[in-house]
Each structure stands twice: as structure tokens, then as C-alpha cells.
Amino acid sequence: MNLDLSTLLLVLGAQLVGLAAALPLLMGWRHISAAARCAQGSVLLQMAGWLALIGSGEAGAQEPLVASLGIAGLTAGQAQLWEAMRHWLGQRPGRLLVWTLAVAGPLGYGLGYSHYAWRVGWSNTALALQMLCVVLALVWPAPAASRRWRGLMALCLVALATTTLARGVLGGFYTEAYPNFRTPHPVAQAWALVSILSLTLMAVCLLVAWREEAERALAQQARTDPLTGLLNRRALQDAAEPLLAQAQRHREPLALLLIDLDHFKQVNDRLGHDGGDQALQLLATLLQQHLRRGDLAARWGGEEFCLLLPHTDAAAAQALDLRLRQALAAQAPAVLGQALAFSSGLTLCAPGDPGLPALLRRADQALYAAKAAGRNRLVLADPS
């Protein structure tokens, strides 16, 4: 079968134009995540770069500049693809290299444009190395992300990097067999076919990654209080039972602290509901700053918060309560324009506790006692 390379190159360009238009239509383009924006930017830059390369032959005296801008679009597109992986998967290795190549690729191409073997070898090698950087980002551990789309995209990029590098070697060392961009050499034809197939599959992978991100965001919203960013009641209840079971099995200390802002109705009356929301957010921020990894904090309802503190005895819980109390007293006047305090009830997990309700009942009784005793204090519940 005779494969016309010029036709394949035009198909590749048309495919990039279609993908650059389709991704914003499917993902949206205003209220999207940083990862989705980088993915769309990657396709858009690669489309612009490819069209510039195809059209550079018609640019006359400006051909070196237009072709160099085309390479810049392609390398910047790969760098943006790496950034999309970083946003979706977490911190990845290779960022410095991928951005260095994004600059060095078109710079070296433009400076050596008069030397065909150099510019073909250099640009294709730079692009292949960038693709391998994205592969590394994909295969680097990311427990929260599906291996399926990551694996498929990595395979596509490995195939694309291999044929791109082969094309660079062909143009750099066997120039007589590949004297120009449109020479129908089998390596160039293979590269074009792999590019067309890989772009299609990678676009599917990007859409799956975007959907996975949206599903995670919805799951997080279902577990999070929208005002404070803390866990909601249901999320803490779900997480509590395994922690309680572990504490009882290994005879480890575990504390539960209920916190209730004092005179919160007066705060709302004086500052309005926005001021009341600010008070809740201030306490939530302090909780996030002072809790350890593994501690759980939830907005329990209204102005009440619940803390579940594994590996924490009474002394450590009381020390945490004091730090929170002092931080709130120091920051509330500046943030709210008035003092703010809280009452708290503390209880410890006992060997015979049947579950979370027993701890909550004791902590609530201790909180009631703190309110009755004058507020702005902690009361430790009787373990019985």
C-alpha cells in the first residue's frame, strides 16, 4: 500500500485542529482546573506549531523564523502536557529538563537552520526527550490516579518518542535518504501514522483523566464542609470507626474533643452572617494549622467542631486545646474586630467503648459542663 506522506501530514494537522477545538467544547474553557487548562494549551500549541511547520515552506525569506516558531509551539506543547500531568498526578520528576528542552529545542533549531542535518537531528531529539519526560511523569507513582489511562498514554508517547528519534537520526546522519520534510521515507511514514494514532488515543486519555479529576472533586465535596473546608459530620463518622478499633486493639490512646464557639449568636447579631462565617473560617484555619497528620477535624454542626486525635492522651489533648485557645484569642481581634473564645469537652477512648456514639456522648456532657461553668474553658469527661 502506497502511503502518501504529504496527505498524512495534512491529516495530522487537521487532526490537531479538530482536537484543539474539541477539548474546550467537551471540558469547557472558563471554570476548569489547571490540569485541564494545561492539557488544552498543549494541544493548541502543538496545533499552532505543526501548522507553522507545514506552512513555513511558503514563507519565503521568513521561512527560518516561521519554522523555528513551529518547533517552539511543539516543544512548548510537550511542556504543557507535562504540566497537566503534574496537576493531575502530583509532583513529578523532570520539570527542569522538559522546560529546558522547550527553550533549547527551538533556539538550537533556529541558530542552526542553515544546516539541515543539525536542525532535523536536534529538534527531533529534543522532542523525543520531552516525550520521555512525560512518560516518566506518567509512570511515577500516583496512587489516586488510574493506571489504565496513564499506561495507555505512556505507551503512545514511547511509540511517538521512538519514531521521532528515528526520524531525527535519519535526517541527522542519513541526509541523502531523507533530504527534506516531505520525503516519503518509511521512517517518516511510520512516524506520521504513529502520530495520528497516538494523538487520537492520547486525546481519549486526557478526557478520562479530566473525568477522573471531576469524580474526585465530587467525592471530596461530598466529604467536605463547603464553608470551612473541614470534613463534614458524615466523613468523620466514616473515618472514626477504623481509628477507634485500632486504638482499642493496640491499646493506644485516642482523644475526642468537641469545641463550641462561645456567644456565637452575639457574633452573628453584631457582625452579621458574613462575620459569623468569618469566625467559623478562622477557627477552621487554626485547626488545620495546629493539627498533626492523621488527626481529623470536622464541622459537626453550626458553630460546633469535632476533633478525633489518634495517639493522643489527655495531657497532649489539653495542650492542643490551649494552643488553639491562645491562637484564637490573638487573631480574632485583628480578623473580626472583637474577641472570640470557645468551650470544649474532652474524652478519651476507653477499652470498653462500643463506638463513636459513646465518646460523643461523654464529650458532649463535658462541653455542657464547660458552658455551665462560665465558658471559655475545657472540661475533661469522666471516663465512666
The mean pLDDT value for 83-108 works out to 97
What's the mean per-residue pLDDT of the chain? 94
The last residue of a domain, from among 176, 192, 222: 222
227 is a domain residue: no
The mean pLDDT value for 123-135 works out to 98
Q: In the structure, what pLDDT confidence band is assigned to residue 384 with cuts at 50, 70 and 90?
A: low
Q: Clarify whether residues 198 and 245 are in a common domain.
A: no
Asked whether the CA dihedral 186, 191, 194, 196 is positive or negative, the reply is negative
Q: pLDDT at position 382, please?
A: 80
DSSP 8-state symbol, 231? B
Sequence-ordered list of residues with C-beta below 8 angstroms from that of 196, at least 6 positions apart, any chain: 8, 11, 12, 15
The mean pLDDT value for 341-365 works out to 92
Q: Clarify whether residues 212 and 337 are in a common domain.
A: no
pTM above 0.85, yes or no: no
Q: In the structure, what pLDDT confidence band is assigned to residue 193 with cuts at 50, 70 and 90?
A: very high
Q: What is the pLDDT of residues 305-336, one digit of tens each?
A: 999 999 999 999 999 999 999 999 999 999 99
228 is a domain residue: no
Q: Clarify whether residues 171 and 23 are in a common domain.
A: yes
Work out the percent of the chain whose per-residue pLDDT is above 70: 99
Q: Clarify whether residues 241 and 198 are in a common domain.
A: no
Q: Is the pLDDT of residue 2 over 70?
A: no
Q: Is the pLDDT of residue 213 over 70?
A: yes
Q: Clarify whether residues 237 and 357 are in a common domain.
A: yes
Q: Clarify whether residues 215 and 238 are in a common domain.
A: no
311 is a domain residue: yes
The mean pLDDT value for 265-292 works out to 93
Q: Mark out the alpha helices in the chain (DSSP H runs).
A: 5-27, 34-55, 63-89, 95-111, 116-139, 147-173, 186-223, 233-249, 264-290, 314-336, 356-372
Domain residues for the domain of 372 are 233-380
Q: Clarify whether residues 174 and 136 are in a common domain.
A: yes
Q: Clarify whether residues 125 and 53 are in a common domain.
A: yes
Catalytic residue among 58, 212, 303, 304: 303
Q: Is the pLDDT of residue 151 over 60?
A: yes
Q: Is the pLDDT of residue 152 over 90?
A: yes
Work out the percent of the chain whose per-residue pLDDT is above 90: 86
Q: Clarify whether residues 285 and 205 are in a common domain.
A: no
Q: pLDDT at position 96, please?
A: 98
Name the CA dihedral angle for 54, 55, 61, 65, rounded to a multiple of 10 degrees.
Answer: -70
Q: What is the pLDDT of residues 222-278, one digit of tens each?
A: 899 999 999 999 999 999 999 999 998 889 999 999 999 999 999 988 999 899 999
The last residue of a domain, from among 168, 198, 222: 222
Q: Which residues pair with 344 in a beta bridge?
A: 259, 378
Q: Is the pLDDT of residue 302 over 60?
A: yes
* Count of domains for the chain: 2
Which has the higher per-residue pLDDT, 338 or 1? 338
Q: Clarify whether residues 289 and 243 are in a common domain.
A: yes
Q: pLDDT at position 57, please?
A: 85
Annotated catalytic, 303?
yes
Q: Clarify whether residues 316 and 356 are in a common domain.
A: yes
Q: Clarify whether residues 198 and 273 are in a common domain.
A: no
Q: Which CATH number fits the domain that encloses residue 259?
A: 3.30.70.270
Q: Is the pLDDT of residue 155 over 70?
A: yes
250 is a domain residue: yes
